[in-house]
């Protein structure tokens, strides 16, 4: 699953640690999501989308290749 | 107490539950040492006291398990995944490794008795290595 987390975070001049604190997760989790190594749960995806004032679809893009 | 918990940040809650887990683990180790060495050096021949020491160790052990569950629930979803993957691997290693080790003992392919402590070491090493690998994988 692709996402725009890194771009949106950079636009707001937030660090990974600040975003992690806002979403109540560890900095490692933010880093793993940004790098596409870890897909967040639906509640966390909603929380992130709400934080950026976007819909989930605007923040995360589903890729069928990631099914494997 | 509930209000205090709610006003804590997520990082503070994780730190607090990790500290509680550390304290429970330390208490369990102390009671284990007492139950193991007490009958040898502190109260030799006193079976009733030895029994009480074992019951206390068991009770503290249950407290440690509950503290571990609470700590796991406080972790974020990636940390939980890393922990659960490591625990699954440790359980697999314990069952498969334990049975193979026992077979080696039963069939006299090893010249010593299969000890439970060796299994505990295997579980601990598997868990630590799996946690380390999980943290590296998502770095």
- The domain locations on chain A are 2-67
Angle at A30 between CA A10 and CA B124, to 5 degrees: 155
Residue B47 touches partner A, C-beta closer than 8 Å: no
Is A32 near chain B, with CB under 8 Å?
yes
10 Å CB burial of residue B85 (0-12, 13-18, 19+) is middle
Cβ-proximal residues to B10 (8 Å cutoff; 6+ apart), any chain: A21, A24, A25, B74, B76
pLDDT range class, residue B7, cuts 50, 70, 90: confident
Secondary structure element (H or E) that encloses residue A66, with its range: none
Answer whether B6 touches A (CB < 8 Å). no
B124 and B88, same structural domain?
A: yes
pLDDT value, residue B56? 98
The residue among B75, B93, B120 that closes a domain is B75
d(CA A5, nearest CA chain B) in Å: 16
Closest residue, chain A, to B81 (C-alpha):
A38
> Rounded to an integer, what distance in angstroms lies between the CA atom of residue B121 and that of residue B138?
26
Residue A52 has pLDDT above 80, yes or no: yes
Q: Which two tokens stand for residue B92?
A: 């697999």
Q: How far apart are CA B100 and CA B122, in angstroms?
A: 13
Nearest CA-CA distance, residue B135 and chain A, Å: 9
Q: Which pairs count as long-range contacts for B100-104, CB under 8 Å and 24+ apart, including other chains? A: none
User: pLDDT digit string (tens) for B41-63?
Assistant: 999 999 999 999 999 999 999 99
* Residue A65 clears pLDDT 70, i.e. is over it: no
Closest partner CB to B78 (pick from A21, A24, A28) = A28
Same structural domain, B80 and B29 = no
Residue with more model confidence, B2 or B64: B64
Average pLDDT in the B2-19 region? 80
Task: Give the mean pLDDT of chain B.
Answer: 93
Q: In chain B, pLDDT over 70 holds for what percent of residues?
A: 96
Question: By the CB < 8 Å criterion, does A38 face chain B?
Answer: yes
SS3 A34: helix
**Residue range A24-48: mean pLDDT, rounded:** 96
CA B72 to chain A, closest CA, distance in angstroms equals 13
| pLDDT of B78 over the 80 cut | yes
What residues form DSSP beta bridges with A60?
Answer: A3
Length of chain A counted residue by residue: 68
Count structural domains, chain B: 2
The domain A2-67 is placed in CATH, from the list 2.60.34.10, 3.10.290.10, 1.10.260.40, 1.10.3720.10, at: 1.10.260.40
Q: Is the pLDDT confidence value at A66 over 60?
A: no
| Residue B85 reports pLDDT greater than 70 | yes
Q: Determine the Cα angle at B130 with ends A27 and A36, to 5°.
A: 40
User: Across the interface, which of A26, A31, A37 has its CB nearest the CB of B76?
Assistant: A26
Contact call for A28 and B138, based on CB within 8 A: yes
- Other CB atoms closer than 10 Å to residue A31's CB: what's the count? 19
Least confident among A51-55, B2-6, B105-109:
B2-6
Q: CB burial class (10 A; 0-12, 13-18, 19+) of residue B9?
A: exposed
Q: Does A25 touch chain B (CB under 8 A)?
A: yes
- Which among B75, B99, B118 is the end of a domain? B75
Phi, psi of A3 (to 5 degrees): -150, 160
Residues above pLDDT 90, as percent of chain A? 88
Cβ–Cβ < 8 Å for B75, B134:
no
Structural domain range at position B13: 1-75
């Amino acid at each position: 699953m692709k996402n725009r987390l890194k771009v949106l975070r950079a636009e707001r001049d937030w660090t990974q640690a600040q975003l992690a604190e806002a979403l109540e997760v560890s900095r490692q989790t933010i880093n793993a999501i940004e790098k596409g190594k870890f897909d967040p749960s639906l509640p966390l995806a909603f929380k992130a989308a709400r934080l950026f004032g976007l819909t989930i679809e605007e923040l995360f893009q589903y890729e069928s290749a990631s099914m494997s | 107490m509930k209000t205090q918990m709610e006003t804590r940040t997520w990082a503070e809650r994780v730190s607090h539950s990790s500290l509680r887990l550390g304290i429970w683990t330390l208490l369990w180790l102390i009671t284990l040492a007492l139950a193991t060495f007490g009958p040898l050096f502190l109260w030799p021949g006193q079976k009733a006291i030895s029994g009480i020491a074992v019951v206390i160790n068991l009770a503290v052990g249950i407290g440690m398990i509950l503290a571990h569950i609470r700590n796991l629930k406080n972790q974020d979803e990636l940390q939980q995944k890393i922990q659960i993957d490591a625990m699954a691997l440790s359980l697999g290693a314990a069952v498969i490794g334990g049975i193979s080790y026992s077979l080696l003992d039963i069939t006299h392919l090893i010249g010593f008795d299969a000890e439970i402590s060796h299994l505990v070491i295997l579980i601990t090493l598997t868990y630590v290595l799996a946690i380390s690998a999980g943290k590296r994988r998502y770095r």
